[in-house]
Amino acid sequence: MHAGGGDDEPLVYAHCAAAAFGANGTVTLMVANPSSSPVTLNVSLPANQRLEFVLTAPNSDFASRHPVLNGRTDTPLSLDADGALPPMQGVYRAGAANAPLEVPPRSQSFIVLLDARSKGCM
């Protein structure tokens, strides 16, 4: 799935989630919001639980090599000495069925819809 067309419109891609999240039709959305305004997205899948991984630039420094995950400015992300990714903890949201997704400005988000029951992903 791809939505968006203009330079300031969000791009949304959907894919079946990794098997580690289960075989119940879990879907992962990747949302890129290049605009300077927040975006609200409505999802029509029946997902009651989701994990959110929202990456933003620290202090609006878009050239930074250390993004902020889920607003945790005290611990920006950086690669380990051997180039490995650091552990990344998503924000769990329960009771989120049909709740809008709030996407911050100039961000990239990965939203795992844990119980989306997408037939194509079962």
Q: Give me the sign of the Cα torsion angle 45, 23, 111, 33.
A: negative
User: Does any domain span residue 67?
Assistant: yes
Q: Looking at residue 104, what is its pLDDT?
A: 92
Tell me the DSSP string of the chain: -EE--STTS-EEEEEEPPGGG-SS--EEEEEEE-SSS-EEE---S--SEEEEEEEE-GGG-TT-SSPEETT-TTS-----TTSPPPP-PPEEEES-TTPPEEE-TTEEEEEEETT---GGG-
User: Does any domain span residue 78?
Assistant: no
User: Does any domain span residue 108?
Assistant: yes
Please give the tally of structural domains in the chain.
1
Domain that includes residue 39, residue range: 2-73+88-121
User: Does any domain span residue 80?
Assistant: no
Question: How do residues 71-120 score in pLDDT, each as one tens digit?
Answer: 888 888 888 889 888 888 899 988 766 678 889 999 999 999 888 888 88
What does the pLDDT average to over 15-43?
Answer: 86
* In contact, 52 and 111? CB cutoff 8 Å: yes
Question: How do residues 57-66 score in pLDDT, each as one tens digit?
Answer: 888 788 888 8
User: Does any domain span residue 79?
Assistant: no
User: Does any domain span residue 83?
Assistant: no
User: Does any domain span residue 34?
Assistant: yes
User: Does any domain span residue 10?
Assistant: yes
Res 30 pLDDT > 80:
yes
CATH number of the domain to which 21 belongs: 2.60.40.1180
